[in-house]
Structure 1
């Protein structure tokens, strides 16, 4: 954090807030038709679950369109288009009247948006920037979702080269203390959090929004309850707020329902798969750019602290992780890489002999599973041999290479007719392999962390996340992600879905 930047923030003695509306004759009917569907579902279809899924998908498409500066026909990916076509086909047979009267007009208006010649928000944006342009002018462009490299390149190619542009997500802008001549928000004030309404980091602030939405700020009396005693807020004392722009539709930019729907969908999938995989108690961590992940409640999380001079990375318990911190996530479990390092750098000449012993007892387990079935093997181990941990999920896990030293391995080996001496030897070897894997994992992590520097801070500010690829370990990489918020309610989640960023649009 720069102290000089903090001082500059308090030097901004005058701010002019203005609101710009972008007209889109294609988006307006699309928005109105979606709102009509919402009302129909509410009034006549008793909040039908199938129709609500259609509505949420349409809102997702709408949110993406109004928040992007890419050409409209490039905003919606093939996966979402396929989902929409499938939903419409099902609705046509299940709800013929609704399809004819409501869904068909939505389809027509959606097609018109896709056929629009450009993106009106983008055109308005670069025209505004070039109109304000002056040599050395510092401009901050803030978006809720990080602009892609293509979007930034497209915009940079249109604006005058002597303008100093910086890109931020809302959360990264809030954490940065730099001030600007011009601050431009892509969206109306209600699209962002209250911070944008009471902290003004520039001489001129502009909110650009489609005319579908109301675009305005109404100063609040922050200390209204004690104003009678002579205490008052000075937040807006030197701020001039321009004329509000009223909306043309009842729709609001509220992505909360879409986010909740996406998260609930994954949680429901996990619930339906119980008994087929190991489930872990996990909480939901919301990330930048409409993404989230499930973090184990009792896990240790790596935190990236860019303001530290030396130790950029440290660990803390998940319960101590806070909003706005940067967490470090391995993109894959890198099991193969860990095994290779464990064999070559730690186990060395014992590696081949140890691996053969591991493969041999697993081969016997897999043979029984293939012959008798997963459930039968689980029942035999639990009921006949009193192996308490031998659930179907555990047996499936033991068959995989990832599982090295199950808690009741000695009992499992006894079932497969190993004598006491062999059992003792195999257990000791599996313990050695497991420890070698842990050591290898720490070694890889330490070397990866040593390659990182605080020079990535600019990329983090622009995107809210950063993908780091190791030079030493070919293919090994991890993401640094900003925590937007945390829901500490507990869900049972499959291990393969833990610490894995997911998009609400998937």
Structure 2
């Protein structure tokens, strides 16, 4: 991960030699406590009485997702709810339908009443609580950082005559920092697991609203096979952990279980097409903004936007992580770079593409007749082409592959004539170069078209859509990675890089 690349000797020494004290702070705010209970009630009610109503389930998931962000925001309540007003009104209007009379009256109306009050309040309980902590905990603002899940435009928060730096959790790790005090806006379970195992400051405070469970349970490795009294846990060496606070789990006001079930449905649906011949590619499933999904091909680079500089760079899926912003062409993300590359190649593009198809068509036919497992086995054993593993052969026959590193040997195995072989090698070299130039051209052009207020838009809406002036008639989506599957899957190539609505 990028944070570990930036780690230095100072940081390593601090992590292993410095005592850490972990504390849990209850932030009391009656309206937020009410909202928490009402949202929990909404989830239970919809799951109990409308389990088969997929449309209501989807609308509820979206609404809960928006409201959950309130529990981790340090923006004033009036600004937060006004910014999310369209999505909130959409859910309210949806549940006003006659078929949902009881749901609206008994469950939704109490939520509306609380949100109406919060929309008028020009304060945030987290900010009030942090200000009191500065004095009671003797916090030095200059050597402290406030960590949040999503970055905001203001890099500092002002408290009377002093200010404290604000960073996203990902930004903090990337910087390789160690500070005196870290203030987390949220519970340990709300943040990445690494923050419950490695402690980047002398003093750690987890702030959460009063109704939420806020605690850290030390991991007891091998607890099922080694008696507790014999365990030696080096993770929590020199770490003091205060008693936590009991309460509601964040999952009780979220859609996590429903999302997991929905994710399994999506995978079943697309993997079931695996019987179709020849066009399967290895992917990871990404949970993106607004409870949507997208399959990201492992062998193809995707466009990643740096949140601070708005610079667009290309990266393989194995290099991206939760919180990254990805840029996709709305119409057809898989062909855009190819289209621009063909413009660079000019009139010769069809000829070069035809040369590539000569060997791919022949390899596809061989796979179709003999099966991919047999082809892989024969190429490795008989022809000593060790890289001809099943996943590589699948990639070679996909449209993503242009110039495999073993192409020359592969053409010999396919018994391609020498003149044709030379033409293919030359064409693949030119196409590969054109694709690199196309990616650079797209990145440089679109970077100048991005809204400078992008970070704020993403925080409010979860996504951003714009139409390019440079590439006329082409629109783009910017989506935030919420979750990336650990496993990889094989699905038809045509289903990659398309947003799947939940």
Confirm or deny a common fold (TM above 0.5): yes
Q: Which residue of 1 aligns with 2:236?
A: 236
Aligned residue for 1:427? none
CA 1:166–1:327 in 2, change beyond 3 Å: closer, same or farther?
Answer: closer
TM-aligned CA deviation for residue 252 of structure 1: 3.8
Which of the pair has more CA radius of gyration?
1
Tell me, what secondary structure is at the counterpart of 2:204?
strand
Deviation of the 1:26 alpha carbon: 1.2
Q: Does 1:104 align with 2:103?
A: no
The match for 2:157 is 156
1:289-336 deviations in Å (ceiling 9; x for gaps): 7787624547422699x9xxxxx98876x6xx2664998955546989
Deviation at 1:481, TM superposition (A): 8.0
C-alpha distance in 1 between matches for 2:57 and 2:162: 47
Pairing 1:445–2:444 present: no
How far the C-alpha of 1:213 sits from its partner, in A, is: 0.1
The structural deviation recorded for 1:56 is 2.0
* Corresponding residue of 2:216: 217
Is the 8 Å Cα contact of residues 223 and 233 (structure 1) preserved in structure 2?
Answer: no
Match of 1:85 in 2: 92
Cα offset for 1:269? 12
Aligned equivalents of 2:178, 2:72: Cα separation in 1: 24
- Change in 2 beyond 3 A, CA 1:210/1:264: same
Matches within 5 A, 1:188-267: 188-224=187-223, 225-227=225-227, 230-247=230-247, 252=252, 254=254, 256-257=256-257, 259-260=259-260
- Structure 1 28/14 Cα, relative in aligned 2: closer, same or farther at 3 Å? same
Partners of 2:229 and 2:280 in 1: CA distance: 54
1:20 and 2:19 aligned: no
Aligned counterparts of 1:180 and 1:503: Cα–Cα separation in 2: 42
Q: TM-score, normalised by structure 1?
A: 0.58
Structure 1: how far apart are the matches of 2:480 and 2:47? 38
Compared with structure 1, are the counterparts of its residues 68 and 43 closer, same or farther at alpha carbon in structure 2 (3 Å cutoff)? same
CA distance in 1, matches of 2:120, 2:171: 34
User: 2:16, 2:334 → 1: CA distance?
Assistant: 50
Note closer, same or farther for the CA distance 1:37–1:290 as it changes in structure 2 (3 Å cut): closer
Are the structure 2 counterparts of residues 498 and 245 from structure 1 closer, same or farther at C-alpha, using a change threshold of 3 Å?
same
Structure 2 CA distance, aligned partners of 1:6 and 1:295? 36
Q: Distance in 1 between matches of 2:494 and 2:13?
A: 48
The superposition leaves residues 91-123 of structure 1 with CA deviations (integer Å, 9 ceiling, x where unpaired) of xx0032333222322322332333334222233
Deviation track 1:430-471 (CA, whole Å, cap 9, x = no partner) reads: xx99998875442243578899xxxxxxxxxxx999x9xxxx
Cα distance in 2 for partners of 1:37, 1:172 equals 34
CA RMSD of aligned residues (A): 5.4
Distance in 1 (CA, whole Å) between partners of 2:246 and 2:322 is 37
* Residues 159-178 of structure 1 aligned to structure 2 (within 5 Å): 161=162, 165=165, 167-169=167-169, 171=170, 173=172, 177-178=176-177
CA distance in 1: counterparts of 2:100 and 2:479, whole angstroms? 46
Q: Is the 8 A contact 1:287 1:482 kept in 2?
A: yes
2:62 is the alignment partner of 1:57: yes
Alpha-carbon distance, 1:223 to partner: 4.2
* Matched pairs, number: 385
Q: Aligned residue for 1:4? A: 9
Is 1:185 equivalent to 2:184 in the alignment? yes
Q: Is the 8 A contact 1:281 1:296 kept in 2?
A: no
Q: Secondary structure at the match of 2:130?
A: helix
What SS class does the counterpart of residue 95 from structure 1 fall into?
helix
Instruction: Compute the displacement of 1:204 (Å).
Output: 0.1
Q: Deviations over 1:357-380 (max 9, x none)?
A: xxxxxxxxxxxxxxxxxxxxxxxx
Once residues 72 and 6 of structure 1 are traced to their aligned partners in structure 2, the CA distance between those partners, rounded to angstroms, is: 37
Structure 1's unaligned 5+ residue stretches are 272-278, 307-311, 356-404, 406-431, 452-462, 468-472
Partners of 1:185 and 1:206 within 8 A in 2: yes
Pair 58,480 (structure 1): closer, same or farther in 2 beyond 3 Å: closer
Query: Would the alpha carbon gap of residues 245 and 336 (structure 1) be closer, same or farther in structure 2, given more than 3 Å must change?
Result: closer
5+ residue gaps, structure 2, are: 1-5, 272-278, 307-311, 351-398, 400-425, 446-457, 465-469
- Does the 8 Å CA contact 1:184/1:208 hold for their aligned counterparts? yes
Length-normalised TM-score, structure 2: 0.58
